[in-house]
Amino acid sequence: MKVRFFLVLILVLAFFSRFYRFDLSPPSLYWDEVAIGYNAWSILTTGADEYGHRLPLSFKSFQDYKLPGFIYSIIPFIKLWGLAERSVRLPSIILGTLSVLFLFLLISQIANKKVALLSALFLAISPWAIQFSRAGFEVNAGVTITLGGIYFLLKGKFSNKWLFVGIILSVLSMYFYYTNRIFIPLFMLCYIPLFWQKWKRIKKELTLLLFLGILLSLPLFIFSSSYSRFSQVSLFSDPQIYSFSAEERVFDQNSLLARVLHNKYLVFGKELLNNYLSYYSPDFLFLRADGNPRHGVPGVGLLYFWQLPFLIYGIYKLIQIRNSSLKILLPWVLFAPIAASLAQPSPHALRGLLLMPVLSVFTAYGLYYFYKNINSVLKILTNTVLVGIVFYSMINYYHQLFIHYPIYSSRDWAYGYKQVFSFLKGRLTDYQNIYITGKYWRPYIFALFYLQYPADKYQQKPSHNKIENIYFGYADYDTSDPYYDYGSMEFIRDKIRYTPGSLLILSPSEKGAGDYVIKTIPDLKGEPLFLIVATKS
């Protein structure tokens, strides 16, 4: 009864940490969330994605080929609440809370209930976990389903039906995020030998389960376009690595020794190892994360700094006593960053999220063994100090997350587009032409989402540069969009500027000397973000 009581408290804390003010921090839906929401709505209303592809297993979106799992999973929420922020974020909040429950259940299979409760608690309050649970990140859902899959695989030691559930969930997680496609097969290769005594007794069932797993995963490799996405971020696609190797060989006059020492495979191997090890660096885990404002709260690490000594001590004790849980935890912690290491940039908090739960477990073990090995007097003193440190760390994190973070990260979260289209709603027919700057991102997807533009109508002629009388600009860095007519749009802003009865929504750098600004939309720092300019009638 005590265990259930504490588990409920931990789950309440986890839900509160993820749900409270989720519409204000992060301060707005960013482009991927909006794209996920609109494509889910498009599937719900037409059975096809924004480009008219029926029930795809790979969503083209911004040519980043999003996996289908999270998009299909939010359709019931879209059905319930329509195309809204909560429809996109609430599924992630719920799944993030469930990850805490699954971790408790999983660790209960390999450790005692105290370690399981501590693991759940550390995951519930983890800045790393909270950050990706409060927004519509596919990876968050993927991690939760992975935890569920591993739990049921372990539970399968007692009943074959749970093995079936474990295989289904493990394969399903591969439909949510790309890193799972490498982690799950590697983990399974270790899992089967570990429980070979069990497998020997059910060889026929095992063969059937493995066949089922392969069969369920085949569509990912046959019908999806994951290679296109991998080629965009792959370490092997980085031309700088090739050029460095070539320059070194030229400098050494392409000698035999140079060809051996500066071999591109050795260079890639070294870069891959650097990427891999970076995921375990204290700088990444406890200090600065990966520098992307959407991936963490500045001034707070992905993990709390007080976790470091317990994390190290937990790993040390498990190895020292050869704890049987290492059979699961060691492959997990070693395999989790492999897929992320193959991509650039590294380390990357989003791609490395599979590492986060197992680090919570090691921290839990460290605290458990620490208390087990000290006397009662030290326990009282340590309790006082540790509770104070933990409480201060959490208050500081929540203060940063809810008060300061929305202000200084608003631009990174595409703040302002909602306000732009709120202004435009009901006014679209009042103007001959409307131009929206593309300086910040591709504005077409925000127009589709916030104006709830009919998906069947958009599918007839998908365009990223024009919807009805709304024209969209493009950013200097964005020159490879196949749905954007760069040639015809090159001078559209200046053309509309001199068209009577039109409206321009500009960035401050695009404002002309004679522009008449009727409204300014600032970011949350109060600095001008969008300028709404009306032309003379």
- Name residues whose C-beta falls within 8 Å of residue 295's C-beta, 6 or more positions apart in sequence: 131, 132, 289, 348, 349, 350
Q: Which of 128-132, 161-165, 308-312, 372-376 has the lowest mean pLDDT?
A: 372-376
Q: What is the pLDDT, as a whole number, of residue 199? A: 66
Residue 209: what pLDDT? 77
147 in Cβ contact with 106 (< 8 Å): yes
Q: What pLDDT is stored for residue 225 in this prediction? A: 58
Is residue 452 within 8 Å of 422, Cβ to Cβ? no
Minimum mean pLDDT among 145-149, 214-218, 510-514: which range? 214-218
Q: For residue 480, what pLDDT is reported? A: 86
Q: Residue 394 pLDDT more than 90?
A: yes
* 259 has a pLDDT exceeding 70: no
pLDDT at 232: 59
CA separation (Å) from 118 to 94, 113, 325, 480?
20, 9, 15, 48
- Would the pLDDT of 336 be above 90? yes
> Can you give the pLDDT at residue 238?
63
pLDDT higher than threshold 90 for residue 188: no
Residue with more model confidence, 161 or 256: 161
Distances from the Cα of 372 to the Cα of 118, 205, 365, 379, angstroms: 14, 42, 10, 9
Task: Give the model's confidence band at 376: pLDDT under 50 very low, under 70 low, under 90 confident, else very high.
Answer: confident
3-class SS at 74? Answer: coil
Burial 42-55 (b: 16+ CB within 10 A, else e): bbbebebbbebbee
pLDDT, residue 398, reads 97
Mean pLDDT of 414-420: 97
Tokens, residue 370: 């620490």
Residues ≥6 apart with Cβ < 8 Å to 47: 54, 55
User: In the prediction, which pLDDT does 228 show?
Assistant: 54
pLDDT at residue 196 above 90? no
In this prediction, residue 260 carries a pLDDT of 61
pLDDT at 231 over 70: no
Could you tell me what percentage of the chain is helix, strand and coil, using 3-state DSSP and rounding each to the nearest 5? 65, 5, 30
Distance of CA 131 to the CA centre of its chain: 9
Burial code (b: 16+ CB inside 10 Å, e: under 16) for 95-129 equals: bbbbbbbbbbbbbbbbbeeebbbbbbbbbbbbbbb
**Domain residue spans in the chain?**
28-408, 417-534
CB 336 within 8 A of CB 355: yes
Tell how strand 466-467 and strand 503-506 pair up. Answer: unpaired
Higher pLDDT, 271 or 84: 84
What number of H helices and E strands is found in the chain? Answer: 28, 6
Q: How far is CA 253 from CA 38, 250, 257, in A?
A: 55, 5, 10
The pLDDT assigned to 331 comes to: 93
- Give CA–CA dist 27/524, Å, rounded: 9
CA triple 397-402-406, angle to 5 deg: 115
Percent of the chain topping pLDDT 90: 72
Confidence of residue 206 (pLDDT cuts 50, 70, 90): confident
Residue pLDDT, tens place only, 129-160: 999 999 999 999 999 999 999 999 988 877 77
Mean pLDDT of 397-407: 97
Task: Record the pTM.
Answer: 0.93
- Range scoring the smallest mean pLDDT among 96-100, 199-203, 477-481: 199-203
Cβ–Cβ < 8 Å for 328, 110: yes
* pLDDT beyond 60 at 227: no
pLDDT of residue 48: 98
pLDDT of 271 reads 85
For residue 529, give both structure tokens: 């973000």
Task: Write the pLDDT tens digit of every residue in 287-304.
Answer: 988 889 999 998 899 999
The average pLDDT across 405-411 equals: 96
Mean pLDDT score, 120-129: 98
Q: What is the pLDDT of residues 37-93, one digit of tens each?
A: 999 999 999 999 999 999 999 999 998 899 999 999 999 999 999 999 999 999 999
> ω before 500 within 30° of 0 (cis)?
no
AA identity, residue 257: L
503 beta partners: 434, 534
**Largest Cα span, the chain:** 83
111 neighbors 325 (Cβ within 8 angstroms): yes
How far apart are the two ends of the chain, measured CA to CA in Å? 73
Rounded to whole angstroms, the Cα distance separating 5 from 114 reads 13
Average pLDDT over residues 336-346: 90
DSSP 452-513: T--HHHHHHS--SSEETTEEE---TT----TT--HHHHTTHHHHHHTSTT-EEEE-GGG--T
**Residue 499: which pLDDT band, with cuts at 50, 70 and 90?**
very high
Element (H, E) at 378: helix 376-399
**Confidence band, pLDDT 50/70/90 cuts, at residue 247:** low
